[in-house]
Every structure is written in structure tokens, then in C-alpha cells.
Chains A and B, each alone.
Chain A
Amino acid sequence: MSAPTVISLRDVRKSFGSLDVLRGINLDVEKGESSVIMGGSGSGKSVLIKHIVGLLRPDAGEVWVKDQRVDELSGDELDDVRLSIGYLFQSGALFDSMSVFENMEFFLERHTELSLSERDDRIMEYLSWVGLPDKRDHLPAELSGGQKKRIALARALVLGPDIMLYDEPTTGLDPVSVRSVSELIVRLREERGVTSVAITHDLLCAEIIADDVHFLYKGQILTNGSLDELSRHDDPALKEFFGSLEV
């Protein structure tokens, strides 16, 4: 028996002015699965992932997360769904006026009843998990790109989400950092059973983390399968995409 579907997009359409960005997206992600969405720049990857967490609302279609229709929720109901989702932003999106500790404590202080010492323990646990316990009191401006991504990952995880969304988790990182961030994502799925959707055009990252790869082209999912299957696919759009990545 297959695992239950946790995220489901049904015929999702989205336009900005006259530009049709999503033109009927259908996507199902099962519990514990790691889905990767690949596609060229401007194919609508970021727009797609923002629909899952209700940052954007579709013009047509349905977005379901854990049996709740996200595109029709608002206020506290939407917040409840969002609290079960962690989101790693492309830029990390750490609050630059706060230290690493404050960035993480900000989430815990508002959403948990933990005491200060319990919050401290929880933060140190996650900072150790991403391998950066010594950066506790640093400001984001004092961190490298890879460190920012890992701290942002720790922050996204601090509330214990069971779904993770990754927006270009390895863009702009050197190969060593790409591997270390990608391996953290895999550990997260293996140790905690987190369901994830990642958008990326980084082959190394996709190779490490993906169970299932969906290829997005001109606002539609052209095909899905393993990374190996997609890279050998006959479709000219896929050939062009994977060809350009290999060069």
C-alpha cells in the first residue's frame, strides 16, 4: 500500500498580468517522499512552491496540504498549516538585525511554551545538527553563504515541521557546501521522516536528495521519474536542459 499523499496540487494555474506562469500543474507528494522540481530559469518553480505554503494563491485549481485546502484558508487556519511546514528560502532569509540565536529563538518564543533554558537547549541541538554550534552569537552578515543556508535550515527545523520546502537550497554555493547542505536534507528525511519538495537546477543536489524528479517546462510538468530517466529522456526541452547542465 502506498503512503498517504501529503501535498497535492490539482490543475493549478497562475498568471501575472498577461504572463501565464503556471498552466495547469498537477503534483502529488507522498508522506516521507523527497520530490525535486527541476526546470530552467523562469519556468515557474518558485511560484509553484510558494503556492504550497499559501504565499501565492492560484487563479484556478486546488492546493491541498495534509487534507486541508490551503488556497481557501486564511488567518489562524492557514497559520496552523504553515506551522507544520518548514521553508528554506533561496537567500536564507535570516533576519539580519538578529543574531543566529535570536533568529531561532524568535520562532520558539512565539510558537512554543518552552522556558528560556529549554529554548536554548533546542537551539543548540539544531545548531549542532547543522554543524555550526559555535555560530550562536554571530550576525548573518558574519556568515558565509553555505553557513547562512545551514543556519536557515536549522531555523526552519526548530519548530519540528513534518514537511520541508526548499527553494534552490544550494544555489550560489561551492561544491563542498552543495554536498554538505544536500546531505543534511537527506539526513532529515532518513532520521525524521520529513516529506520534502525541493526546487533546484543543481544536478549534484538533485542526485543526492531526489526520490522523484518533476521537470517543469513553460508552466507545466512535462514529465517525472528518476534523475537518470529524465537525463536520458528524448524530449528536446529535457535534452537541452540536461545538456546545458553537463557542459
Chain B
Amino acid sequence: MANSPVSDFFSDFGELCRYMGRFFLRVWRPPYEFKELLRQMDEVGSKSFLLTSITGLAIGIVLAMQSRGTLVRFGAEAVLPSMLALSVIKEIGPVITSLVLAGRLGAGMAAEIGSMRVTEQIDALEVAALKPFHFLIITRTLACIIMFPILTLWTDAVALFGGYIESYLASGMDYRIFLSTAFESIRFSDVVVDTGKTSVFGFIVGMVSCYLGFNVRGGTREVGQAAMRAVVGASLLILLTDVIIVRLSLMIFGDVGT
């Protein structure tokens, strides 16, 4: 009897949670695949560098251009750097960077691992006692956990640079004024919590993509579907998790200015 989409969803979600549990149980145990972890960090980090740079620059410039008109109307143009820094560091930078990375890495990892599954490479690792869960899943997920915050900080910096370029071209604002205004309303805890949450997003992207790739059954069509589902699933989970983390951080650290 065919399962309904709802029962399939819950069965997949349950299995994904089991994988997450297995990750936390096994990540401490050998073998430690440091070489592969570094390779994956390079794959996640340096190869996403240009993409996140362009994303950051576009976010900064567009946000500054869009906000300037409204702020000028209320005579509040001077708070533009502050508003820009708050929006970028607290929300737009972490979420947009993670969503962009979910698109690039989620599809790539699910397709790569899915192809390895259908061409029996994962079975080959298994029968050679090479622990594919450690070699494929733990390394990729750890690479995402480590690299997402680093890429997010870079995206935030580029976005602020983009905002400054716009401010300089539109009003000739001095960079020292821009920087001092931008950071006066940002607390250290904002940077830590809001950048740190991207480690959780990285964990989600790594786990969802690896889980879907690892469990591909069939052929190339199923590999393509796994890649698509990885992007959709990881993106949705990022947005849902963001709501929870923001609510929790407001409860713990309070709102900006409080």
C-alpha cells in the first residue's frame, strides 16, 4: 500500500532526527577525518567566497538605496549606518547567507553523496570498513558548522562596505562617521548570537543534504530529486529555526536598546 505524503513527511523527519542523534553520538569517536574535514571546509568556504561576497555587496547597496528615501523624508538620514548595521548583522546577513549557501551546498552535497550511493561507492566504503558516516556525513556537516559563521561575518562586512559605498556616493559620508554610527547600537552579544546561529543553519544544511543523498534509492532521477529536496528542506528548516532562535535570544538577551 502506498504511503500518504503526510506519513512520508513524518517518517522522513523522524529518520532525519535519528541521523542528527547519530551525528552527536559519533562526532566524538574515531576515526577523525581531519584531512577530509579540511577539504570540505575548503569546498564550503573558499568556493562559496565569491557567491557570498556578491550577495553581501548587493544586500548592502540595495538596503541603503531603499532605506535612504524613507529616512530622508523623516529627517533621519544620519541613522542610516546604524539601521544598516542592525539589519545586516542581526538578520539579513545570517539568513540570506545561509539560504544562499543552502542552495549551493545543499544541492551539491545531496547530489554528490546520492551519486556515490547509486554507483555503490558508499557500499564500497562500508565493506572496506571505512565508516562512510564519519567520512561523508560528519566531515561535511562539521565543515558547514564551522564555515557558515565565518562566511556570514564576511558577508556582513561586505554588506556594510556596500552600504558605505552607497552613502559615500549619495551624500559623501566619511567612513569614520559611517563606522562609528553603524556600530554604536550593536552589542557584542548581537554579533555573537546572530552570527553563531548560522552554525545551527550549517548543521541543518549538512544534515538534511547528507541524509537525503545517503538515502537515495534508484538512479539519476532520484539523485536530482534528492538535490532539489535538500535545498527546499534545508531552506524551510533554516527559516523555521530562525524564528525559534530569535524568540529565544529576545527572551535571554532582550531587544536592542534594552
Contacts and interface: CB of A to CB of B under 8 A. Distances in A.
A91 B116 CA distance: 11
Contacts of B127: 53-55, 82, 85, 87
B121 A79 contact: no
A93 B130 contact: no
Interface in B111-153: 116, 119-121, 123-124, 126-130
Contacts of B124: 87, 89, 93, 95
B14 interface: no
A93 B120 CA distance: 5
Contact of B121 (A82, A90, A96): A96
A107 B130 CA distance: 8
A159 B124 CA distance: 14
Given A89-B124, A110-B31, A83 B119 contact: no
B99 to A, nearest CB: 27
A3 B126 CA distance: 29
Contacts of B119: 91, 93, 96
Interface in B2-44: 31
B120 A82 contact: no
Interface residues of B, number: 12
Contacts of A89: 120, 123-124
Contacts of A87: 123-124, 127-128
B129 A111 contact: yes
Interface string A9-25: 00000000000000000
Nearest to B129: A79
A85 B123 CA distance: 13
B117 to A, nearest CB: 11
A88 to B, nearest CB: 10
A169 to B, nearest CB: 13
A83 B129 contact: yes
Nearest to A109: B35
Contacts of A53: 127
B120 A90 contact: yes
B121 A55 contact: no
Nearest to B122: A93
Contacts of A106: 130
Contacts of A95: 116, 121, 124
A55, A78, A93, A107: residue with the most chain B Cβ atoms closer than 10 Å: A93
A107 B128 contact: yes
A109 to B, nearest CB: 9
A53 B125 CA distance: 12
B130 A110 contact: yes
A55 B31 contact: no
A93 B126 CA distance: 12
Contacts of A111: 128-129
B120 A91 contact: yes
Contacts of A50: 123
A108 B124 CA distance: 14
A54 B31 CA distance: 20
A14 B124 CA distance: 22
A93 B125 CA distance: 9
Given A55-B127, A95-B116, 13 more contacts: A78-B129, A82-B128, A87-B124, A89-B123, A90-B120, A93-B124, A95-B121, A95-B124, A106-B130, A110-B31, A110-B130, A111-B129, A159-B128
Interface of B: 31, 116, 119-121, 123-124, 126-130
Ranked 3 nearest A-B pairs via Cβ = A79-B129, A93-B124, A93-B120
30 contacts: A50-B123, A53-B127, A54-B127, A55-B126, A55-B127, A80-B129, A82-B126, A82-B127, A82-B128, A83-B128, A85-B127, A87-B123, A87-B127, A89-B120, A89-B123, A89-B124, A91-B119, A91-B120, A93-B119, A93-B120, A93-B121, A94-B121, A95-B124, A96-B119, A96-B121, A106-B130, A107-B130, A110-B130, A111-B128, A111-B129
